[in-house]
Structure 1
Amino acid sequence: MELHMKATLPLRAALTANAVFSLSSALLMLLVPEVVGRWLGIQAPGIFQLLAVGLVVFAAELIYQATRRRIATWRALLASATDFTWVVASIVLLSVFPRLFSPSGDLLVLAVAGAVFVFGAWQLWAAGHTHRTGEGGTYRHCIVVETNAPAQDLWQIVGSLGDIMRYMPSLKRSAVLDGKSPGVGAVRTCEDRAGKRWSEECTAYDPGRSFDVRFRTEAPDFPFPASVMRGGWKIMPSAAGSQVMVWWELTPKPRLLAPLILPLLALNADREFPRIIQRMAATAVGNAGGAQPPSNARVAARLVPTVC
């Protein structure tokens, strides 16, 4: 956990600095709009106030993310996209309306755009850094989902490697090659509804507890941008019932895209896997009770804001 917190410091610093800059700009436009108007060479207090409100909301989101225990890098990616949009909009505004501002106003708009670009680039780099494992070019994302299904019952579902398609709507099919039993050496093949196919070789299997896989990235049609990719599932008893940890480690291809690839992976995992695990838990509870539960069964699954 200490290493993870250290890895998040650059992103927390970037988000906080961006928030301070945004709030300072908002306060100027709210409290002294006439001064801002003189700097720009245009008096538009209504527009200044509207921009100020937007900046306050933006800064609040940045501060919220910077102070969370488990930082969401995909939301930092959205913040950078917003910053870059501001930069592009500033350049377009100066190009389309070259006489809208005074010469000093043009310089001010460009200076602000330059600062915003720095914040966006800083956040983008730091988002990738947050996922770094410290081992060469390897990056990691991990989630923990808590359910009210007993751990031993949930393992019966999770540990059945070939049945993953029953719980993941994006998959068209999944199976273990040659009908092998789940365990070290078993290979799970998957195909999603877009026609992408890949294989995962089980490298560790602890019955009732966990399994690890190695994605066969050497396959010529491997669909994901990684030269090396591993992952795993782990079931842990909890006071509520059980916690499921799912993790991925990969070397992005190309590595320069890590600040984009990892936050997007995090977005998909944080959004989809709690629902996947909830479906698994519903089946586990139904099997334990002797019947498959209805679709509205009261089986809870929530993303735990913890570091793993």
Structure 2
Amino acid sequence: MSSSANAARRFLKMNSLFSVLTAAPLLLAAGMVAPLLFAVPVDWAAMALRGLGIGLLGFAGLVYALSRYRFVSRAMVHEIVFLDVLWIIGSVVLIAAFGQVLTATGVAIVAAVALVVAFFAISQFLSAARIERPVPVARVEMRDGTLHAIVKRRVRAPVATVWDVMTDHPGYADVADNLSKVEVLSGDGLGMTRRCHGPKGESWTETCDLFEPGQAYGFRVHTEAADYPYPFADLSGRWRVEDHPEGAAFEIDITARLKGNALSRWLFATMAGPQFRTILIDLADAWAARMEREAGLQADNKAVAGE
């Protein structure tokens, strides 16, 4: 992860903390804050300030969640910058056009908060401009009620080596953070059955339903099993490799249909999307490192044999 991404995440976290600190007095002491801000406080002023405080807490939660995301992107940071800019514009309009409704203290408070928000907006924007995209290209999206998670990765290794590593099923657990063990139960190629074990002791079986030697294979997860631990009605994966000028390129394509109603599926996909993307990027990087290491060992062995 680049230092610029770390910087963006730090500013997002600071922004989140400042939003909480700003919201706290609005929620806990709106009746005392209203006379400080407004020259002639109206009855609904305290209620309006509490509503603003609730909105700020929601904003703080969103910003904090982004600050925890390892692969935060420029677009994600820019969305927060846009919201910060809206706050700044609103503050300027409030002071310039409706300044008479504020006390001198109120004008100072609104201006001071806007200046701090401007600092965060500028800092976030500048740090986001230097964020480098991860080498793996990963995408997670919902289409027609189905979750699609795809990652593509270039690798400096020949296709044959990449294929050998991809089809080393027990070794899959060494590079996948969401797996502790993979064991082949029966078969080889099409129809092969393997059992995957999660880090918390959960397990499930998968059957190979696609096999194109040297090119692609796929597995269907037995989500219908009584002991299947995840909220998927259907889940399948496709692994592919092809030639690339750098050596080879592989792709992992996960398709999942979630259980539950439309709202629960949407909520799960929204919350799980970043996690899926992180898992896929980490997997692709770890797999690529192993493939390139194997290619290096093979090249060394050939060199020794030639000598």
TM class by shorter chain equals: 0.5 to 0.7
The alpha carbon displacement at 1:167 in A equals 3.2
SS at 1:171 equivalent: coil
Q: Residue 247 of structure 1 aligns to which amino acid in structure 2?
A: D
* CA gap 1:71/1:210 in 2 versus in 1, 3 angstroms: closer
Map 1:6-155 onto structure 2 (within 5 A): 20-26=82-88, 35=96, 38=99, 41=103, 42=106, 43-44=108-109, 45-58=111-124, 131-133=141-143, 136-155=144-163
Please state how far the C-alpha of 1:15 moved relative to its aligned partner: 8.7
**1:190 counterpart = 2:252:** no
Partner of 1:87: none
**Secondary structure of 1:177 counterpart:** strand
How do 1:114-263 residues align onto structure 2 when only pairs under 5 Å count? 131-133=141-143, 136-168=144-176, 170-178=178-186, 180-181=187-188, 183-254=189-260, 255-256=265-266, 257-263=268-274
Q: CA 1:21 to 1:226, structure 2 compared with 1: closer, same or farther past 3 Å? A: same
Tell whether the 8 Å contact from 2:138 to 2:152 is kept in structure 1 after alignment: no
Q: Determine the C-alpha separation between the residues in 2 that align with 1:25 and 1:63.
A: 21
What is the match of residue 294 of structure 2? 283
Q: Kindly tell me: are residues 268 and 62 of structure 1, through their superposed partners in 2, closer, same or farther at Cα, counting changes over 3 Å?
A: same
Deviation sequence 1:68-93 (CA, Å, 0-9, x none): 9x9977xxxxxxxxxxxxxxxxxxxx
Structure 2 unaligned blocks of 5 or more: 1-73, 303-307
The structural deviation recorded for 1:62 is: 8.5
Greater alpha carbon shift after TM alignment, 143-152 vs 277-286: 277-286
Q: Cα–Cα, structure 1 residues 229 and 169, in superposed 2: closer, same or farther, change >3 Å?
A: closer
Residues 46 and 282 of structure 1, relative CA distance in 2, 3 Å threshold? same
Contact 1:26/1:53 (8 A) holds in 2: no
Kept in 2, the 8 Å contact 1:153–1:285? The answer is no
Q: Decide whether aligned partners of structure 1 residues 264 and 36 sit closer, same or farther in structure 2, where only a CA change above 3 A counts.
A: farther
Q: Are 2:233 and 2:259, in contact at CA under 8 Å, matched by a contact in 1?
A: yes
Alpha-carbon deviations, 1:83-107, whole Å to 9, x = none?
Answer: xxxxxxxxxxxxxxxxxxxxxxxxx
CA 1:201–1:281: 2 relative to 1, 3 Å: farther
How far off its partner does 1:20 sit? 4.2
Within 1, Cα distance between the matches of 2:163 and 2:116? Answer: 53
1:277 is displaced (CA, Å) by: 3.0
Deviation at 1:145, TM superposition (A): 0.9
- Offset of residue 270 of structure 1: 2.1
The 8 Å contact of residues 188 and 200 in structure 1, kept in 2 or not, is answered as yes
Q: For this pair of structures, how many residues does the alignment match?
A: 217
Which consecutive unaligned segments of at least 5 residues does structure 1 have?
1-11, 74-129, 292-308
RMSD between aligned alpha carbons?
A: 3.8
Deviation at 1:227, TM superposition (A): 1.0
Percent of counterpart pairs with the same letter? 19
With 224-233 and 15-24 compared, the bigger mean Cα shift is at 15-24
Partner-residue secondary structure (3-state), 2:142: coil
Amino acid at match of 1:215: V
SS in 2 for 1:132: strand
Structure showing greater Rg: 2
- Distance in 2 between residues matched to 1:14 and 1:40, nearest whole Å: 34
SS of 2:180's partner is strand
In the alignment, the residues of structure 2 paired with residue 49 and residue 265 of structure 1 have an alpha-carbon distance, to the nearest angstrom, of 37
The equivalent of 1:6 in structure 2 is: none
Q: What TM-score comes out, normalization by structure 1 length?
A: 0.58
Listed one character per residue, the Cα deviations across residues 162-199 of structure 1 (whole Å, up to 9, x for unaligned) are 43123335533211113x22x11101211133212122
Provide the TM-score with structure 2 as the length reference. 0.59
Would the alpha carbon gap of residues 230 and 286 (structure 1) be closer, same or farther in structure 2, given more than 3 Å must change? same
